[in-house]
């Protein structure tokens, strides 16, 4: 599918750093929009829609909580800027943070384009979860022309490969999220490397790649001579 890609004006912090784009199909009618495929989830499951936007485009927040230096969550593409640009354009002084914290933030860097493609991919994965709401035809058409046929009920935890149910998002209302956005390689943020996982699985994987994680588990099972 050819996308419109016309620039969208934004008044948010970081203006001028990046040109946000329209992700509707080229030649569309009506106004340009950055997340046109989220209008349905925005109305039936707004928390899920916000999670998709946030996880696709922002770094996680913990590292910033004790600092006055910047916002709790920051655009992933800002992490591609050097110290000086970060200070000028985002008013974030990264140099005051410990080297380990800086490195962790830099690992989250991704281009705007990758982030936007991740958002669309996560939307597809949400609709493919068991018990997920059915997307309106316009959204099915949009997602299918970008990613191929939608296979309802096919989304699995990228770590344990068990099927994920949309109802897990609802259960999260009563506590912490049961489903998290996860990365096969935690240092790469693009549609091929991103998916959803159980919170427990994501915690267990930690900062390892999936390959490192499975080897780690395998070695443990061997050492303890585990038998089913």
Q: Rule CB under 5 A: which residues touch Zn ion?
A: 4, 6, 22, 24, 32, 157, 159-160, 198, 201
16 or 30: whose CB is closer to Zn ion? 30
What SS3 class is residue 179? strand
Nearer to Zn ion, 32 or 87 (CB): 32
Closest by Cα among 162, 155, 116, 158 to 132: 155
If you search the block for the tokens 């068990």, which residue do you land on? 162
Task: Check: CB of residue 111 under 8 Å from CB of residue 77.
Answer: yes
Nearer to Zn ion, 49 or 159 (CB): 159
Q: Closest distance between Zn ion and the C-beta of residue 35, in Å?
A: 12
Closest-CA residue to 92 (of 116, 60, 70): 70
Pick 88 or 113: Cβ nearer Zn ion = 113
* Cβ at position 31, least distance to Zn ion in Å: 7
Least Å distance, CB 207 to Zn ion, is 17
| Nearest-approach distance from CB 159 to Zn ion, in angstroms | 5
Instruction: Classify residue 3 by burial, with Cβ atoms within 10 Å: 0-12, 13-18, 19+.
Output: middle
């Amino acid at each position: 599918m050819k996308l419109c890609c016309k620039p969208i004006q934004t008044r948010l912090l970081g203006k001028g750093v990046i040109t946000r784009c329209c992700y509707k199909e080229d030649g569309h009618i009506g106004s340009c929009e950055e997340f046109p495929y989220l209008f349905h989830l925005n109305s039936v499951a707004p928390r899920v829609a916000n999670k998709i936007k946030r996880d696709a485009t922002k770094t996680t927040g913990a590292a910033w909580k004790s600092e006055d230096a910047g916002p709790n969550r920051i655009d992933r593409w800002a992490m591609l800027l050097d110290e000086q640009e970060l200070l000028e354009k985002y008013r974030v002084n990264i140099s005051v943070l410990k080297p380990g914290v800086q490195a962790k933030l830099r690992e989250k860097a991704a281009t705007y384009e990758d982030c936007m493609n991740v958002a669309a991919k996560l939307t597809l994965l949400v609709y493919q979860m068991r018990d997920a709401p059915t997307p309106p035809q316009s959204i099915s058409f949009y997602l299918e022309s970008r990613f191929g046929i939608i296979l309802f009920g096919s989304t699995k935890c990228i770590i344990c490969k068990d099927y994920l149910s949309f109802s897990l998002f609802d259960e999260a209302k009563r506590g912490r999220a049961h489903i998290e956005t996860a990365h096969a390689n935690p240092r790469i943020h693009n549609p091929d490397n991103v998916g959803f996982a159980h919170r427990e699985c994501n915690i267990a994987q930690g900062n390892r790649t999936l390959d490192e994680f499975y080897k780690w588990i395998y070695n443990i099972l061997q050492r303890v001579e585990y038998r089913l």
